[in-house]
Amino acid sequence: MSFLQLPFQTNLYHGKVRDVYSIQNDWLVMVASNRISAFDVILPRPIPYKGQVLNQIAAFMLEATADICPNWLVTVPAPNVSIGKRCIPFKIEMVVRGNVVGHAWRTYQSGKRELCGVQMPDGLHENDFFPEPIITPSTKAAEGHDEDISKEDIIATGLVTEAEWQILEKYTLQLFARGKEIAAKQGLILADTKYEFGKIGDTIYLMDEIHTPDSSRYFYADGFAERQASGEKQKQLSKEFVREWLIANHFMGKEGQVVPEMSDEWIDTISKRYIELFEKVTGTTFEPKPVDDQIIEKEIISALERLGIV
């Protein structure tokens, strides 16, 4: 997808998987691309319909959690486009984990029992539930890898105030609890996810996407306990299967490593897995819409006019 030309555009941020247009400095037009990233590297081939999947799951989840905290989203004028309020972002990601999986498991398996200043109990196996969900924040890097950071260091370095942290922590745990409720209704377990927040004036807003396959990890609830008891691998819906494929092909985003070739068959598999997650998480049928820059541009401009922004 090429870049759009929007009225009163003041900035364009070209992210790993999104292009974010600032309109009059107070509004954002967020276009979810079909790009896919892993280990903070954009992979060389796009994934059909991925942008639409991410955008529509995020819109579904933002609406389903709007009673918990304010969020940035105002309207979704096209399948892969969202328009909302521009916030001043906190430069941290609020990562919350209900299960010891992914980065938490890799840390745990190495023998460490502390992650981001949070103690993890002994005796856990991969994918086990933590006694209570834990928050393991990371710094939000403009480029390169995000870094683990503790609550204490976040406050000490002034990334957020102690009062702001209390609000972020409350919102994060409430959002995660709601996400788990929504997932449970669909026969899923929300194992971990991340949230990003920002401010408009003195008000804290939830930003970006939530509970999507790019930001979250889901397990199938059916048979979960039995698979844990027998030591079997859990069936999950997330982007982790892409990371696992990359690791198996000797790529973890480190210097000197080369992204393995992605075949047409593998691209199709990834696309189908994203669509599967959309349908499973939302309980609705996915309706693929082709991306047409000219149509999308017209729909965005019409939405901006309706909102009285341009």
pLDDT string in tens for the chain (310-residue length): 567 889 999 999 988 899 999 999 899 999 999 999 998 899 999 999 999 999 999 999 999 999 999 999 999 999 999 999 999 999 999 999 999 999 999 999 999 999 999 999 999 999 999 999 999 999 976 665 679 999 999 999 999 999 999 999 999 999 999 999 999 999 999 999 999 999 999 999 999 999 998 899 999 999 999 999 999 999 888 888 899 999 999 999 999 999 999 999 999 999 999 998 899 999 999 999 988 888 999 999 999 999 998 8
What pairs with residue 94 in β-bridges? Answer: 195
Residue 268 within a domain? no
Residue 293 within a domain? no
Q: Are 33 and 18 in contact (CB under 8 A)?
A: yes
Residue 189 within a domain? yes
Buried b (16+ CB within 10 A) or exposed e, 159-182: bbeeebbeebeebbbebbebbbeb
Give the model's pLDDT for residue 145. Answer: 65
Map residue 133 onto helix, strand or coil.
strand
**Which of these, 67, 96, 72, 69, lies nearest to 173 by C-alpha position?**
96
Give the model's pLDDT for residue 140. Answer: 78
Looking at residue 4, the DSSP 8-state letter turns out to be P
Residue 77 within a domain? no
Looking at residue 59, the DSSP 8-state letter turns out to be H
How many angstroms separate the CA atoms of 18 and 36, rounded? 10
Q: Are 57 and 63 in contact (CB under 8 A)?
A: no
Phi-psi region at 298: left, alpha or beta (left = phi > 0; alpha = psi -120 to 50): alpha
Give the model's pLDDT for residue 143. Answer: 60
Residue 258 within a domain? no
Provide the domain limits for residue 199. Answer: 89-238
Token pair recorded at residue 28: 């954002």
Phi-psi region at 201: left, alpha or beta (left = phi > 0; alpha = psi -120 to 50): left
How many angstroms separate the CA atoms of 66 and 31, rounded? 21
Give the model's pLDDT for residue 293. Answer: 86
Residue 194 within a domain? yes
Task: Quick: pLDDT tens for 145-167.
Answer: 679 999 999 999 999 999 999 99
Map residue 67 onto helix, strand or coil.
coil
Token pair recorded at residue 132: 């209570």
How many angstroms separate the CA atoms of 68 and 170, rounded? 10
Say which CATH number the domain at 225 has: 3.30.470.20
Residue 100 within a domain? yes
What's the total number of domains in the chain?
1
Residue 190 within a domain? yes
